[in-house]
């Protein structure tokens, strides 16, 4: 029991670490995920080899004491984690998005919340109803199951048409506000399907939360459609409503004399009145299965991209898997290796060119002084003239300062190095007048 409790407490942390992979890939901003460090909880209380430090095996009494100590440590850890999860507001409540929680864990958490799956920390958890369970509840045929699978692969998110009730009045959908005070209880509910909405101008984390519900059936009120005041309440997923009603059959069938009578009435209700919502839920369950396979593939190898997210090429040729791949690994957040190399090449081409330099000339001071002395000597007698200094060409190289002439880039040309262009009129004048 203690080990199961510890496992339940660590599932949120495991999901958070998996979400961090997508947060890093997308470059999204999440204060909760930034501080996460992957340290498995079991390693904190894991048993070490019994004979690691001792040359002799433990006695029976020592072994029992050792196991009792480990059990006590696990119990204390589980209790402390449970208190932390329920005693304070967890940031995971606002940041969770990855729908990879085990169905057993969802069922356990929902039972603690009076079977209200919509009260869990994320909007994306699917009610723990398997495809086979849907088939049993509504007695679906093989042809209907094949149709649902085909609709999931072809991105057909319209209601299944057939000899089933399709209108709002015929479906008899419940008012969600009767068992969820945060939802509308004024108008009747209608069935709709979440499509591929355009997520423009939103943050990356907001997109990560919404891409996992494409094709999911939901219930919404009809206040605006009926001309009433907009209640501005949120939608509710049909599978979560169905899970709540399966646990509270008295809501749909209050006059039933027994629980067995309610069960039979519910089976008949799903076979006929709610057959369209059940078929639509099966379609989304198939779509969610593809989403989970893609998410697990990215978690196993974060280097995967749209072209390699799944190894099954037969599935990747279908419309929905290709479109879902673009949502999970969008190029606007995640560059492919080819585009990343192209960006690197562009950065290398943007190297700054050296500016053209101005040639600086240097006149040696000894040469200038020699010219001045020669000019003065021509005006004085030779006997009074002082000996001329050493010619500049005979000075040692150490006396010559470093040249300040700088070279230019080969691809550029300076004004000094260009040949002087003479006007053609000058050539004509010379040929005529000999000047």
List, for residues 312-366, the tens digit of each pLDDT value: 989 999 999 999 999 999 988 886 555 555 545 554 555 445 455 454 444 555 5
Which pLDDT value is given to residue 46? 47
Q: Report pLDDT digits (tens) over 230-288.
A: 888 889 999 999 999 999 999 999 999 999 999 999 999 999 999 999 999 999 999 99
Q: What is the pLDDT averaged over residues 108-135?
A: 93
pLDDT higher for 236 or 10? Answer: 236
Task: Check whether 4 has a pLDDT greater than 80.
Answer: no
Q: What is the pLDDT averaged over residues 367-386?
A: 54
Task: Check whether 104 has a pLDDT greater than 80.
Answer: yes
Q: What is the pLDDT averaged over residues 67-74?
A: 74
User: How confident is the prediction for the chain on average, in pLDDT?
Assistant: 77
Confidence of residue 34 (pLDDT cuts 50, 70, 90): confident
Which pLDDT value is given to residue 37? 61
Which pLDDT value is given to residue 200? 64
Beta bridge partners of 237: 218
Structural domain contains residue 370: no
Q: Report pLDDT digits (tens) over 173-188.
A: 999 999 998 899 889 8
Q: Does one domain contain both 252 and 333?
A: yes
Around 357, how many Cα atoms within 13 Å sit in the side-chain half-sphere?
Answer: 11
Total domains in the chain come to 2
Confidence of residue 421 (pLDDT cuts 50, 70, 90): low
Which pLDDT value is given to residue 402? 53
Q: Does one domain contain both 171 and 318?
A: yes
Which pLDDT value is given to residue 1? 45
pTM, entire model = 0.67
Which pLDDT value is given to residue 370? 62
Do 138 and 275 contact (CB within 8 A), yes or no? Answer: yes
| Residue indicated by tokens 């005979």 | 394
Q: What is the pLDDT averaged over residues 59-71?
A: 80
Domain, as residue range, for 302: 99-338
Q: What is the pLDDT averaged over residues 369-395?
A: 53
Q: What is the pLDDT averaged over residues 216-239?
A: 90
Phi-psi region of 139 (alpha: psi -120 to 50; beta: other; left: phi over 0): left
Which pLDDT value is given to residue 375? 57
Q: How far apart are CA 146 and CA 142, in angstroms?
A: 6
Q: What is the pLDDT averaged over residues 39-47?
A: 44
Q: Does one domain contain both 79 and 112?
A: no
Q: Does one domain contain both 168 and 292?
A: yes
Dihedral pair phi/psi, residue 221, rounded to 5°: -75, 170
Q: Does one domain contain both 81 and 29?
A: yes
- Percentage with pLDDT > 90 across the chain: 40
Q: Return contacts of 77-84, CB within 8 angstroms, 24+ apart.
A: 77/6, 77/41, 77/44, 77/45, 78/2, 78/5, 78/6, 78/9, 81/6, 81/9, 81/10, 81/41, 82/5, 82/9
Structural domain contains residue 380: no
Q: How far apart are CA 369 and CA 411, in angstroms?
A: 40
Q: Does one domain contain both 87 and 112?
A: no
Q: Report pLDDT digits (tens) over 132-176.
A: 999 999 999 999 999 999 999 998 788 888 788 888 889 999 999
Which pLDDT value is given to residue 220? 93
Q: Does one domain contain both 71 and 220?
A: no
Q: Does one domain contain both 152 and 90?
A: no
- Of 109, 47, 97, 108, the C-alpha closest to 72 is 47
Which pLDDT value is given to residue 190? 93
Which pLDDT value is given to residue 32? 76
Confidence of residue 39 (pLDDT cuts 50, 70, 90): very low
Q: Does one domain contain both 162 and 109?
A: yes
How large is the C-alpha radius of gyration of the chain? Answer: 41
Q: Does one domain contain both 111 and 72?
A: no
Q: Does one domain contain both 127 and 84?
A: no
Which pLDDT value is given to residue 435? 53
Dihedral pair phi/psi, residue 317, rounded to 5°: -85, -10
Structural domain contains residue 40: yes
Q: Which of 319, 338, 357 is the last residue of a domain?
A: 338
pLDDT higher for 86 or 202? Answer: 202
Task: Check whether 60 has a pLDDT greater than 50.
Answer: yes
Q: What is the pLDDT averaged over residues 17-27?
A: 90
Structural domain contains residue 208: yes
Structural domain contains residue 91: yes
pLDDT higher for 396 or 212? Answer: 212
Structural domain contains residue 311: yes
Structural domain contains residue 346: no
Q: Does one domain contain both 83 and 160?
A: no
Structural domain contains residue 368: no
Q: Which of 47, 77, 96 is the last residue of a domain?
A: 96
Q: Which of 338, 365, 384 is the last residue of a domain?
A: 338
């Amino acid at each position: 029991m203690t080990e199961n409790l510890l496992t339940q407490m660590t599932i949120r942390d495991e999901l958070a670490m998996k979400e961090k992979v997508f947060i890093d890939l997308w470059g999204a901003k999440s204060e909760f995920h930034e501080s996460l460090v992957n340290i498995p909880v079991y390693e904190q209380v894991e048993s070490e080899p019994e004979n690691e430090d001792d040359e002799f095996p433990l006695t029976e009494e020592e072994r029992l004491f050792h196991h009792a100590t480990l059990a006590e440590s696990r119990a204390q850890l589980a209790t402390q984690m449970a208190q932390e999860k329920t005693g304070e507001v967890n940031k995971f409540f606002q940041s969770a998005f990855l729908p990879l929680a085990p169905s057993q864990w969802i069922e356990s958490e929902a039972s603690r919340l009076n079977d209200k799956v919509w009260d869990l920390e994320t909007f994306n958890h699917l009610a723990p109803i398997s495809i086979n369970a849907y088939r049993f509840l509504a007695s679906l045929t093989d042809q209907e199951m094949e149709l649902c699978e085909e609709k999931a692969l072809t991105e057909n998110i319209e209601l299944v048409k057939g000899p089933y009730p399709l209108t709002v009045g015929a479906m008899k959908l419940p008012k969600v506000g009767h068992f969820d005070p945060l939802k509308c209880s004024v108008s009747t509910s209608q069935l709709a399907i979440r499509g591929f909405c355009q997520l423009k101008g939103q943050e990356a984390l907001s997109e990560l939360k919404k891409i996992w519900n494409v094709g999911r059936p939901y219930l919404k009120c009809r206040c605006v459609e009926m001309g009433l005041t907009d209640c501005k309440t949120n939608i509710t997923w049909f599978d979560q409503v169905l899970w709540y009603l399966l646990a509270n059959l008295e809501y749909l069938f209050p006059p039933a004399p027994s629980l067995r009578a309610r069960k039979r009435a519910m089976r008949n209700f799903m076979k006929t009145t709610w057959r369209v919502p059940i078929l639509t839920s099966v379609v989304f369950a198939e779509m969610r299965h593809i989403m989970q396979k893609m998410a697990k593939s990215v978690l196993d190898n974060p280097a995967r991209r749209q072209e390699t997210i799944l190894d099954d090429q037969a599935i990747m040729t279908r419309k929905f898997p290709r479109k879902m791949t673009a949502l999970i690994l969008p190029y606007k957040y995640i560059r492919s290796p080819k585009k990343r190399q192209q960006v690197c090449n562009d950065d290398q081409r943007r190297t700054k060119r050296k500016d053209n330099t101005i040639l600086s000339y240097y006149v040696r001071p000894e040469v200038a002084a020699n010219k001045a002395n020669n000019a003065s000597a021509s005006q004085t007698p030779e006997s009074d003239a002082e000996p001329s200094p050493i010619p500049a060409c005979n000075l040692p190289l150490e006396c010559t300062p470093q040249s300040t002439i700088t070279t230019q880039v080969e691809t550029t040309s300076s004004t000094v190095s260009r040949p002087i262009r003479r006007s053609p009129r000058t050539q004509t004048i010379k040929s005529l007048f000999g000047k």
